[in-house]
């Protein structure tokens, strides 16, 4: 169903102070008909009509739950730059940081031992379609001309091969004594997935955690096209409440009819002891196309509320508003078999030194930071560009002409196909990203997207126009596995630190 490299796709659709080279752009001008509270830039969303018009819920539906407060509650959570949380003990319903252990997914260099080019095209197509839907949301809310110069809605991409639905195995249910939810690796899909519970009593689901999407979606018991997935039954939850409105998402175009439709509910949601009430989420009644091919039950979006199709707070923002976490910060450690997602702070055992934070430069919902540069063997290739940091994307995507310059600096590299470059598997290119502070180097393994044929490997940096603007890169797991990444809601910033 949903995947980190595609899902919302369904809904659309991761101690120094901020670097002095970071900068904020002028606030986005919201058209008068969409005017609303976007103070703090990202904590709120413009006033919008319901996702899709619908009639009121049937009489049999339980009374509507109270709407969770929005960004006005964020100030209750203090921000201390560089604070490193070490305490891992938390009662199920009390505030406190939570470590969610995750198994390292398959290396990009070892996709079934070799990488077929069709597999790479499939991953790219899913990524394009996911952010195509995001850009449609941005265009609807503020207009792409108010986002970035050159931003546009790209044509939908079609995967070259159909992918079978693999057997799904549910993970363990979080309890008060088990503070983590294991996120399992998926060889075919390169996504981070783990269990959450919804409802009273809890119903368990295997979900994808994605900083490039903002909504929570799960399959319903009546879902058509959701075969093989665990499904949500609102009638089995005493805390479930159907909300007005339905959603209808179609991100494809032309012959691509991929999409999802369903109803909107609120209920109790628990992730490793972080328990929130009245969380808004979409319950999918029908899905089609590539959305139905993915080995998860749904998506936990961790982008900003402005990117929400449902026009509601994502799970982590609800947790902040309800004081379910001590800090509005979460961190990803994706560099080993004991990888983890940390909610409510950062895990100081996973990194050395301080976290280098950089302020967000966009109000549209992305974790987007500026002042970036890329170098090859210490030689700068491109600088002063912006980056969208997305745990839901496996590779790295940049403007085709700039990516071509990157590979010109790598000995023996050549264009395999437009936007895709190969190099000798025996070489170890030294590729680094910087945001005006430290240079964060990619390991040879993380830069290697896989072996196409004996001795020839594919680079993990792809030249594809994602529609985000002339000077915007999409940075995914190929980079994130090399750093500890912190996503700071309280201080509207993204930070990186050197791995311990």
pLDDT at 334 (0 to 100) = 87
Burial class (CB in 10 A: 0-12, 13-18, 19+), 144: buried
List CB contacts of 449: < 8 A, sequence separation 6 or more. Answer: 108, 109, 115, 120, 395, 457, 458, 459, 460, 478
472-475 β-sheet, strand order: 439-442, 431-434, 368-376, 379-389, 472-475, 396-398, 461-463
List CB contacts of 33: < 8 A, sequence separation 6 or more. Answer: none
pLDDT at 357 (0 to 100) = 99
Helix/strand/coil for 235? helix
pLDDT at 275 (0 to 100) = 97
Question: How far is C-alpha 392 from the chain's CA centre?
Answer: 4
- Residues of the chain scoring pLDDT < 70: 1-95, 101-115, 159-191, 250-258, 289-295, 336-337
Phi, psi of 486 (to 5 degrees): -125, 135
Strand 274-288 to 216-224 pairing: parallel
CA–CA distance, 304 with 213 (Å, rounded to integer): 8
Angle at 454 between CA 396 and CA 460, to 5 degrees: 5
Find the helix or strand (DSSP H, E) in which 122 lies: helix 117-141
CA–CA distance, 10 with 293 (Å, rounded to integer): 12
Looking at 283, 304, 324, which one is the last position of a domain?
324
Do 251 and 376 fall into the same domain? no
Do 226 and 303 fall into the same domain? yes
23's tokens: 């900068």
Residue 258 within any structural domain of the chain:
yes
Do 305 and 399 fall into the same domain? no
Domain of 424 in residue numbering reads as 356-498
Catalytic machinery residues: 210, 390
Residue 13 within any structural domain of the chain:
no
For residues 395 and 212, the answer to whether their CB atoms sit within 8 Å is no
Residue 376: give its domain's CATH number: 2.40.70.10
Over the stretch 394-403, which tens digit does the pLDDT of each residue have?
Answer: 999 999 999 9
CA–CA distance, 79 with 75 (Å, rounded to integer): 9
Looking at 324, 347, 370, which one is the last position of a domain?
324
pLDDT at 164 (0 to 100) = 39
For residues 385 and 473, the answer to whether their CB atoms sit within 8 Å is yes
pTM of this structure: 0.77
pLDDT at 190 (0 to 100) = 56
Residue 213 within any structural domain of the chain:
yes
Over the stretch 373-409, which tens digit does the pLDDT of each residue have?
Answer: 999 999 999 999 999 999 989 999 999 999 999 999 9
Residue 98 within any structural domain of the chain:
no
pLDDT at 490 (0 to 100) = 98
How many distinct structural domains can be found in the chain? 2
pLDDT at 250 (0 to 100) = 61
414-417 β-sheet, strand order: 414-417, 420-424, 456-459, 448-453
CA–CA distance, 314 with 327 (Å, rounded to integer): 16
Phi, psi of 207 (to 5 degrees): -125, 160
Do 253 and 310 fall into the same domain? yes
CA–CA distance, 137 with 125 (Å, rounded to integer): 19
Do 320 and 360 fall into the same domain? no
pLDDT at 146 (0 to 100) = 93
Residue 117 within any structural domain of the chain:
no
């Amino acid at each position: 169903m949903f995947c980190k490299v595609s899902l919302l796709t369904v809904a659309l659709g991761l101690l120094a102070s901020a670097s002095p080279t970071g900068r904020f752009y002028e606030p986005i001008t919201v058209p008068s008909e969409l005017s609303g509270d976007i103070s703090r830039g990202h904590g709120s969303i413009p006033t919008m009509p319901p996702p899709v018009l619908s009639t009121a819920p049937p009489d049999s539906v339980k009374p509507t739950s109270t709407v969770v407060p929005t960004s006005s509650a964020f100030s209750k959570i203090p921000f201390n730059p560089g604070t490193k949380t070490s305490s891992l003990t938390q009662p199920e319903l009390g505030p406190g940081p939570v470590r969610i252990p995750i198994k390292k997914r398959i290396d990009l260099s070892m996709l079934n031992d070799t990488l077929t080019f069709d597999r790479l095209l499939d991953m790219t197509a899913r990524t394009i379609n996911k952010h195509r839907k995001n850009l449609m949301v941005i265009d609807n809310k503020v207009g792409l001309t108010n986002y970035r110069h050159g931003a546009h809605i790209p044509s939908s991409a079609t995967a070259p091969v159909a992918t079978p639905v693999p057997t799904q195995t549910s993970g363990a249910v979080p309890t008060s004594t088990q503070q983590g939810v294991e996120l399992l690796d998926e060889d075919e899909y390169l996504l981070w997935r783990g269990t959450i519970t919804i409802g009273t009593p809890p119903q368990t689901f295997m979900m994808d955690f994605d900083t490039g999407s903002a909504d929570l979606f799960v399959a319903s018991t009546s879902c058509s096209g959701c075969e093989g997935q665990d499904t949500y039954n609102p009638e089995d939850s005493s805390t479930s409440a159907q909300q007005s409105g339905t959603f209808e998402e179609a991100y494809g175009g032309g012959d691509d009819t991929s999409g999802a439709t369903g109803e909107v509910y609120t209920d109790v949601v628990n992730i490793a002891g972080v328990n929130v009430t009245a969380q808004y989420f979409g319950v999918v009644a029908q899905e089609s196309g590539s959305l139905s091919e993915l080995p998860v039950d749904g998506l936990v979006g961790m982008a900003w509320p402005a990117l929400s199709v449902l026009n509601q707070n994502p799970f982590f923002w609800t947790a902040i508003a309800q004081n379910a976490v001590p800090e509005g910060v979460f961190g990803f450690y994706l560099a080993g078999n004991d990888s983890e997602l940390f909610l409510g702070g950062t895990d100081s055992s996973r990194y050395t030194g301080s976290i280098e934070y950089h302020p967000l430069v966009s109000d549209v919902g992305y974790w987007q930071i500026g002042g970036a540069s890329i170098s090859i063997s210490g030689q700068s290739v491109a600088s002063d560009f912006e980056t969208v940091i997305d745990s839901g994307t496996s590779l790295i995507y940049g403007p085709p002409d700039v990516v071509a310059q990157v590979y010109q600096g790598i000995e023996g590299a050549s264009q395999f196909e437009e936007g895709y470059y190969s190099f000798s598997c025996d070489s170890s290119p030294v590729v680094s990203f910087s945001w005006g502070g430290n240079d964060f180097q990619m390991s040879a393994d993380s830069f290697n997207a896989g072996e196409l044929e004996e001795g020839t490997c594919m680079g993990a940096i792809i030249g594809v126009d994602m529609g985000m603007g002339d000077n915007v890169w999409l940075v995914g797991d190929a980079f994130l596995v090399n750093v500890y990444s912190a996503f700071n809601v309280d201080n509207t910033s993204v930070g990186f630190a050197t791995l311990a």
